[in-house]
Amino acid sequence: MDRFPVFLDLHGRNCLVVGGGKVAERKADSLLKAGAHVTVISPAITDEMRNTLDQQNAVWQAREFADSDIESQFLIIAATNNERVNAHVAALADKRNIPVNVVDDQSLCSFIVPSVVDRSPVIVAVSTGGASPVLARQLRMRLETMISSSCGQLAGITEEYRDIVKKRLPEEQRKGFWEQALKGPFAELVYAGHEADARRLLDEMLDKYPSEHSIGEVYLVGAGPGDPDLLTFKALRLMQQADVMVYDRLVSKSILDMANQNAERIYVGKEKANHAVPQDKINDLLVELAKQGKRVLRLKGGDPFIFGRGGEEIETLAENGIPFQVVPGITAAAGCSSYAGIPLTHRDYAQSCTFATGHLKDGTIDLNWPQLAQPNQTVVFYMGLTGIEVISQKLQEFGRSGDTPAALVEQGTTRNQRIHIGTIATLPQLVKERGVRAPTLTIVGEVVQLHDKLHWYEPQRHVIASEFSRNTPVEA
């Protein structure tokens, strides 16, 4: 270990910043946030630094640095654009054993300023010892995605309860109690902003610990349309702390690989007429696993509440008193249309958008066709491949022109994405000609014309136009 990591208490301590540029501005701001008494010495400073110093009642001395300026300082940062001045400041500080940081010169630093994830009182610092500040920032950004913005509130509540727990539980039980609390519903209530409920739950846990078996929790998480980068921060956090994962066919391997590698995995994928596990059995399975005290990740493609049967699952959880959370995901209509360069609404083409399912629970496609055939709107059909002939026929039967542009987005947002451009009338032929397979989203409306101009995601330039399309064929 080349450098000893340490967190300094700067509250009320004198800290000096030599320099007045953008870098010095950032350093002074960080010191002020840590509660330091900051003095800035520089002939000129940025306007933003001037405003910050005025608001914090900090001191700016508009002159060149003098040797006597280091007297009574607890910490010094040299951030001028003059290497000679920076080196001189560092030498003076070293003689008096004052910690000093020289910006962009690791050899002169007695301490390094790390990249910080601030969830006060939780602070996570990342440093490469000055070897690669850019890498440190990239690592810090990854941590930002993993650490909840409410982590500080969680630490605050646990601090409140430390003495209470010490009085109530013997030493050998305290660690187990806090581990159970911090990985279960108590922590999730804090993350969700329900601090009063979290405190009540913590009180109940203290009253019952360790005699009563703890019930688990279910996380109903939307995995999005396929691209792992479209996961939300909250989804990723819950995925990485689950004990068991119950997942669907539409969840890609790359997304599964981002979940806790030690979690038990249970596949319950469903295809048309081929359900690995019937829906009612899935509902019961979630209840059973939670009653075993497990944190259960129910991972679903797209969004759980948009043709994802999430409502049916949480109905069963609620009836059985199982705690649960729902994390929205980017639904296929939004994700696939964006990656296809097809806006769902546009002032010149479509003033509304409707999502419809390609088959109902009873297997029919008995939809509100008069409404779906209305002009000046975009209609997106989920799970519509099997009934594509009926969709094409009914839209035309109820007044939508057969020449209306339409698109089939196959495996949207993934590296295997293919886009097939045609019209309402040619949709069935497109499916046969191109061997289109699920998962595929069907987009109907004038906005499809914009694909040629707005497409941007081309993993393999898989865009195929039908010879029957009224549009000029696009790239193949």
pLDDT per position as a tens digit, 318-357? 999 999 999 999 999 999 999 999 999 999 999 999 999 9
User: pTM to 2 decimals?
Assistant: 0.70
The segment(s) of the chain belonging to CATH 3.30.950.10 are: 336-465
pLDDT of residue 2: 82
Helix 279-291 / helix 310-319 crossing angle, nearest 10 deg = 40
44 is in an annotated binding site: yes
Rounded to an integer, the average pLDDT of 254-269 is: 92
476 — pLDDT class (breaks 50, 70, 90): very low
The segment(s) of the chain belonging to CATH 3.40.50.720 are: 14-113
Query: What CATH class has 14-113?
Result: alpha beta
302 is in an annotated binding site: yes
303 is in an annotated binding site: yes
Cα-Cα-Cα-Cα dihedral sign, residues 420, 425, 427, 431:
negative
Annotated catalytic residue, options 270, 291, 403, 452: 270
Answer CATH for 217-327 from 3.40.50.2300, 3.40.50.970, 3.40.1010.10, 1.10.620.20: 3.40.1010.10
Q: What angle do CA 379, 363, 427 make, to 5 degrees?
A: 40
Q: Do residues 221 and 297 touch, judged by C-beta distance below 8 A?
A: yes
Residue 54 annotated to the active site: no
More confident residue, 444 or 271: 444
Residue 248 annotated to the active site: yes
CA dist., res. 52 & res. 32, Å (int): 9
205 is in an annotated binding site: no
The segment(s) of the chain belonging to CATH 3.40.1010.10 are: 217-327
Annotated catalytic residue, options 27, 234, 248, 300: 248
Q: What percentage of the chain has pLDDT greater than the value 90? A: 75
Q: What is the CATH number of domain 336-465?
A: 3.30.950.10
